[in-house]
Amino acid sequence: MSRRTAAGAILSIKKLSSTLSLSSWVTIGVVLSVLITTASVLALVDQFTRSYARHEAEARLNQLAWQMQDALDRSMGERYSDVKLLSQRPSIRQAKDPERMRAVFNELQRNVPNYAWIGFATPDGNVLAAANGLLEGQSVEQRPWFQKGQKDFFVGDYHPAVLLEKKLPVMSDPWRFVDIATPIMGPDGQFQGVLGVHLSWTWARDLAKKLLNPANDRYDVEIMIVRDDGTVLLGPRELEEKKISIDSFKASLRLPSGSMRELGEDGQHYLTGFARTGLNSEYTEMKWSVLVRQREQIAMSGFKDLERQVLFVGCIVGLLLMALAFFMTRRLVAPMNALSAALERRATGDHSAEIPIVSTYYEIQLLSTTLSTMVQREENYLREVRSLNEGLEQRVEDRTRRLHETAIALQQALDNQRENQIRLEESETELRAILQNAHDAFIAIDEDGMVLEWNRQAEQLLGWAHKEAVGKELAELIIPFEQRELHRRGMTHFLNTGEGVVINNRIEINALRRDGKELPIEMTVGYVRRRAGHLFIAFLHDITERQAFRNSLQEMALTDILTGLPNRRAFTEKLPEAMARAMREPQQMGLLFMDIDGFKGINDKYGHVAGDELLVKFAERLIDAVREVDTVARLAGDEFTVILERLHSPADAMGVAEKILVSMRRPFVLTAATVSVSSSIGVAIYEPSRHTDQDALVAQADKAMYAAKRAGKNRVEWNTEESPV
């Protein structure tokens, strides 16, 4: 069976199993069991019968082989006796009278026609007398029977005729002989010659025919006589004098008799019985295998008839048993069918179907009673459930209605929320557009300082593109390196305490651009507290121009317009700075206060323009007279101050003052005239260890200058309180 067919069969069985009832399965099972049992018994009987029949046939053939062997042995014994008796006859022993000898031979041949030749040869090998005078006078000296017969009784194996073939009458089969010879001793004990007998092979054929005649007609039995070299001496014509090597022949060489099934030389199966001749005779040369065989088909033909009969009867009995099993099973399962039919009807909704109470046998009665009780209980239970269901349905309906109302309310809330969401998104979009196009740069960062928003103006102002800036820390982008730590600390402080100087204030700082340059900006930072983290927003704009303007204003405020020197305001800023430096180093510092002597007269005489020109040139000489680290300022009118830093001693200040005096005594070439003036200088020394304050120092210098004025002008005066010398 192929795999496909097997799979199909399994599928069919599966389909069948889902549709057949239990009763059908029981019926099929019982019928199949009977079928299998009957088939098994028939197979066993067939096997046993076949074995028995073959054994019987083999035994019969073995019997025939034994009979043939026995006939051959007995017949040969008789021939042996014939020759022995003949050799004892006086006429033969004397061997004097060929006539008498021939008469004796002729008589024996008449009695035993299978003696093809009987004769006597003298010691020189010439035939003296023979039946019918055959070969008389001819030499048989070379014939084996003559040579071996001179010494002892001799029986020669089957052989073709040599000298006699042409002397004997022609037959359908060529002449074949078995030779018997014996030495003839005279009454005086002298060797007279050899008595020889040629037993025609027809002898063996006749024995076989006699044995087989009745059997051969009916059963086609073959008898074979086989020499030890495998040559068939007697048997089917086509095998005679040919060699065979079938199993039965080989077995006969080992065993005295037996039987077997074998493959013949023609490819047919045979049953063969075999036996061995000459086992108990005196003449050892006559040991042949007798094989009696019959084609197996013919030998077993009787069994075949019996087999057909057994099968026929077996099938009839099997069918009867199956029918009986079928009816018995149907009867047994009928109550089950009634029960299952009732259950089936109930299962399809027919509650009027009652469970039948069946009393066929105990088990089914118990089953039907139990089922009936169960069905009754189920009906009661269903009734209860149905009444419960009615109340339950009402409750489910109420709940469903309420659920429906809630769902509608929820849907409305969801719609509102969606609308709000859309509005919110629109507002966000608008806001984003405004911020994107704002005049100021807009930056938003989270609580970790990471950039969230970065508008177009921020890109232009700071050089970082939106996609570069978003996600990076603001400090890394725009805070100058030295202020980053401060910025981070400020943010942490604000997040921890809510306090910060930057938040909600307008501050000016330097921002770092992408190209590394610093840019003055004004920044306003706002803070938004959100549920998910904090948000800082900042607006920035460039104040480079404003700062330049402011610087120039400041510059102007601190510079004397006429001379370009720092003015009083600048002086009051620079003096404390210089004092602080002196304190740090520490070193002494000198402050000179000076006034042009008689300046009012220049003004009056040559005019204010000439006065201004003098002031300018005076300032130039003053700058030339001091070092770069020193600061020259014009306080007002013709009053000037010089801050002298890094003095080794107060005398240094004195020296500078003297040098200035000398410089100012030279005439000033003005446009209007060349004039000569002098100046009065007051000197105060700042000693860090004395902690003199700014105002006191200025007052000392001023006081000293007035002292110089009072002392006659054109001189230098120390402050009167503490002389450096």
Ligand X SMILES: Nc1nc2c(ncn2[C@@H]2O[C@H](COP(=O)(O)OP(=O)(O)OP(=O)(O)O)[C@@H](O)[C@H]2O)c(=O)[nH]1
Active-site annotation holds for 638:
yes
Q: What does the DSSP 8-state code read for residue 332?
A: H
Among 179, 440, 560, 638, binds ligand X (CB under 6 A): 638
Taking the least distance from each CB to ligand X, the nearer of 182 and 679 is 679
CB nearer to ligand X: pick between 277 and 603: 603
Q: Which helix (H) or strand (E) holds 535?
A: strand 534-542
- C-alpha separations of 703 from 78, 195, 251, 609, 645 in Å: 197, 202, 168, 30, 20
Choose the stretch contacting ligand X; rule: CB under 6 A; options: 140-148, 221-229, 592-600, 655-663: 592-600
Using the contact rule CB under 6 A, the part of the chain among 26-34, 395-403, 483-491, 607-615 near ligand X is: 607-615
Cα–Cα distance measured from residue 252 to residue 66, given in angstroms and rounded to the nearest whole number = 12
Examine residue 707 and tell whether it contacts ligand X (CB under 6 A): no
Per CB under 6 A, 672 contacts ligand X: no
By CB under 6 A, which span of 208-216, 478-486, 606-614, 654-662 interacts with ligand X?
606-614
In the bound state, the residue with its beta carbon closest to ligand X is 611
Binding mask 50-89 for ligand X (x = CB under 6 A): ----------------------------------------
Q: Considering only 385-393, 603-611, 649-657, 690-698, which stretch makes contact with ligand X by CB under 6 A?
A: 603-611
For every residue of 601-650, DSSP letters joined together read HHHHHH-HHHHHHHHHHHHHHHHHHS-TTSEEEEEETTEEEEEEEEESSH
Among 123, 278, 500, 598, binds ligand X (CB under 6 A): 598
- For residue 273, give the nearest of 466, 70, 115 by alpha carbon: 70
Say whether residue 603 binds ligand X (CB under 6 A): yes
- Determine, following the binding rule CB under 6 A, whether residue 702 of this chain makes contact with ligand X: no
Q: How far apart are CA 383 and CA 353, in angstroms?
A: 17
599 binds ligand X (CB under 6 A): yes
Q: How is residue 229 written in tokens?
A: 């070299």
Q: What does the radius of gyration of the chain's CA atoms come to, in whole angstroms?
A: 80
Mutual angle of helices 202-219 and 22-88, in 10-degree steps: 160
Question: Nearest-5° angle of CA 254, CA 257, CA 259?
Answer: 100
Query: By CB under 6 A, is residue 710 in contact with ligand X?
Result: no
Spell 145-177 as b/e; 16+ CB within 10 A means b. bbebbbeebbbbebeebebbeebbeeeeeebbb
Between 542 and 638, CB nearer to ligand X: 638
Question: Closer CB to ligand X, residue 242 or residue 608?
Answer: 608
Residues in binding contact with ligand X, number by CB under 6 A: 13
Phi-psi bin for 359: left (phi > 0), alpha (psi -120 to 50), beta? alpha
Q: Which stretch binds ligand X (CB under 6 A): 179-187, 235-243, 600-608, 664-672?
A: 600-608
Q: Does 616 bind ligand X (CB under 6 A)?
A: no
| 498 near ligand X (CB under 6 A) | no
Q: Cα dist. 235→222, 348, 495 in Å?
A: 7, 85, 131
- Figure out which of the listed residues 15, 600, 666, 690 binds ligand X, where binding follows CB under 6 A: 600
Stretch that binds ligand X, among 59-67, 141-149, 290-298, 596-604 (CB under 6 A): 596-604
User: How many whole angstroms separate alpha carbon 412 and alpha carbon 570?
Assistant: 74
How far is 379 from 217, CA to CA, in rounded Å?
A: 88
We find the least distance from the C-beta atom of residue 568 to ligand X, in angstroms, to be 13
Asked if 597 is part of the footprint of ligand X (rule: CB under 6 A), the reply reads: yes
453 vs 560 by CB, closer to ligand X: 560
Among 160, 174, 498, 601, binds ligand X (CB under 6 A): 601
Q: How far apart are CA 281 and CA 41, in angstroms?
A: 51
**Distance from the Cα of residue 409 to its chain's centroid:** 54
Q: For the window 203-222, what string marks contact with ligand X as x by the rule CB under 6 A?
A: --------------------
Q: Which residues, including other chains, have CB under 8 Å from residue 155's CB and lie 6 or more apart? A: 76, 80, 178, 179, 180, 283, 285, 286
In the set 638, 693, 695, 702, the catalytic residue is 638
Please tell me whether residue 568 binds ligand X under the rule CB under 6 A: no
Q: Any idea which residues carry the catalytic annotation?
A: 638
Binding site for ligand X (CB under 6 A): 595, 597-601, 603, 608, 611-612, 637-638, 709
